[in-house]
Amino acid sequence: MAKDAVGYALTALNRLSGSEMLDRIGMRKTVERLAYTLTKSGFQAITTTARAFNSGNPARKPARLNAPGHSRDLFDLGITEEQQMIRASVQAFAQEVLRDQAEHADARQQTSDEVIAQALELGLNYFAVPEALGGAATERSTVTSLLVAEDLAYGDMGQAVAILAPMGVANALTQWGTAQQQSKYLSTFAEESPPKATIALCEPRPLFDPMALQTTARRTGDGYVLNGTKSLVPLAAEAEIFLIAAQADDGPAVFIVEGGCEGLAVGDDPSMGIRASGQRPLTLNHVRVPLENRLGNRNFDYRAFVDLGTLAWCGLAIGTCQSVLDYVVPYCNDRTAFGEPISHRQAVAFMIADIAIELESMRMLTYRAACRAEQGKSFQREAHLARTLVKDKAMKIGTDGVQLLGGHGFTHEYPVERWYRDLRAIGVAFGGLHL
């Protein structure tokens, strides 16, 4: 009800602010200040959920997915026919739907329900849930998930994050969730209307290290009490399930928290880029979590949890950088200066060539790390190398894209400025996603 009340009030104020009457009676500043205050305070209450999660009859053992049967003990860039079919569908959706809605979603700071509904028609959520729990997944393919992230980001990174965040939660529950956690939460992702969910890992401080969390989880007799602040949380105001990373007595851990919990509040701090993902800060003030909502058990690998999220962000960066490259090549060939295309200038040609080289380097390192993860090998080193390269080169590619368009690159009329803002997130983003 609180969420509805705030929404109705803001709608009324927005309509009122468009009236010329406010100028005549001298009330415009007062109304605008009221709307701003209501927005800031209203978001503190938006973590409600109407969905009831029931444990049902959990199985004795959790459902797990094995690596694909075609996976070999070598780095293999071959894409199977099934992966090609999935990519074709996702690429068509990204170019026809996400790219068309990108500017609108960025301005509204939200991915529309219509786009989310069309994304669900692809059936990607079913492939994150094992068959035993009502899904369609028979094997675990980190590479396939990476390819999907890359292709969605080719359309628009912000909307891609909003679509992939719930899948990331489902992937984590599939890989590490207990039988009870899977029965209560994971099975809902195979329903016709799956829950919106997200991962909260990043914290608002310089040089954030996901292995040194300041959000705490204090053990009590019947559970844990969580305190702290998270930043850049996708779908924060809409999520019904959160996977929140916190420092427990025995090290970093992840907890399943339902939206609407007492003490869980969402702030209002719009980000520079990937605005369509609805990233906002999340505050935890004595949030109580039952013992059984600590993700996994002794087999939980927090380091792998972080690294798989890192690879997802790398995949998003690769897809967006590919968009930049595919846009600047025809632009520079068509744009003329001094009687010839600007692509005839060495400085321009070399800059485009550098984008292509750097993009392929990013892709190879990221694919290699994902391949090792899929094979069950250690991939921490490879994930770190991929992120180190990607966060540097992706931001450079975004900058070069703007530079190649000159003054046009600085305007909303061309998408390169949005891609530049989105790619800046790669250097600071943690969490939200999971392959």
Band the pLDDT of 5: cuts 50, 70, 90.
Answer: very low
208 contact partners, CB below 8 Å, separation of at least 6: 202, 428, 430
Give pTM, 2 decimals. Answer: 0.86
Strand ranges in 276-395 using DSSP code E only, listed in sequence order: 280-290, 336-337, 340-341
- Give 40's strand partners: none
Span 107-130, average pLDDT: 90
Q: What percent of the chain has pLDDT over 90?
A: 63
Model confidence at 139: pLDDT above 50: yes
pLDDT at residue 270, rounded to an integer: 79
Measured in whole angstroms, the distance separating CA 32 from the mean position of its chain's CA atoms is 32
Model confidence at 26: pLDDT above 80: no
**Cα–Cα dist 49/122, whole Å:** 25
pLDDT at residue 27, rounded to an integer: 56
Both tokens assigned to 286? 């004595």
According to DSSP, residue 426 is labeled G
Q: How many CB atoms lie within 10 A of CB 95?
A: 15
pLDDT at residue 10, rounded to an integer: 43
173 vs 71: which has the higher pLDDT = 173
Concatenated DSSP letters for 183-234? HHTGGGGGSSSPPPEEEE---SSTT--TTS--SEEEE-SSEEEEEEEEEEET
Model confidence at 344: pLDDT above 80: yes
Model confidence at 6: pLDDT above 90: no
Span 231-258, average pLDDT: 94
Query: Which of helix, strand or coil describes residue 304?
Result: helix
Q: What share of the chain is helix, strand, coil (3-state, %, to 5)?
A: 55, 15, 30
Q: How many CB atoms lie within 10 A of CB 83?
A: 17
pLDDT at residue 36, rounded to an integer: 44
**Cα–Cα dist 239/110, whole Å:** 13
Tens-digit pLDDT profile for residues 295-337: 988 789 999 999 999 999 999 999 999 999 999 999 999 999 8
Query: Which of helix, strand or coil describes residue 256?
Result: strand
Span 258-277, average pLDDT: 90
**Cα–Cα dist 240/196, whole Å:** 6
Both tokens assigned to 435? 């392959």
Model confidence at 29: pLDDT above 70: no
Model confidence at 435: pLDDT above 50: yes
Question: Sign of the C-alpha dihedral, residues 283, 167, 324, 360?
Answer: positive
Instruction: Give which of 198, 255, 260 is closest to 49, Cα–Cα.
Output: 260
**Cα–Cα dist 133/121, whole Å:** 19
pLDDT at residue 99, rounded to an integer: 95
Q: Give the chain's mean pLDDT.
A: 86
Range with the lowest mean pLDDT among 89-93, 136-140, 262-266, 377-381? Answer: 136-140
Tens-digit pLDDT profile for residues 69-91: 665 667 777 788 888 998 999 99
Residue 211 backbone dihedrals phi, psi, to 5 degrees: -90, -5
Half-sphere exposure of residue 87: CA atoms within 13 angstroms, side-chain side:
14
Looking up tokens 């992702």 gives 189
Instruction: Give which of 333, 325, 420 is closest to 363, Cα–Cα.
Output: 325
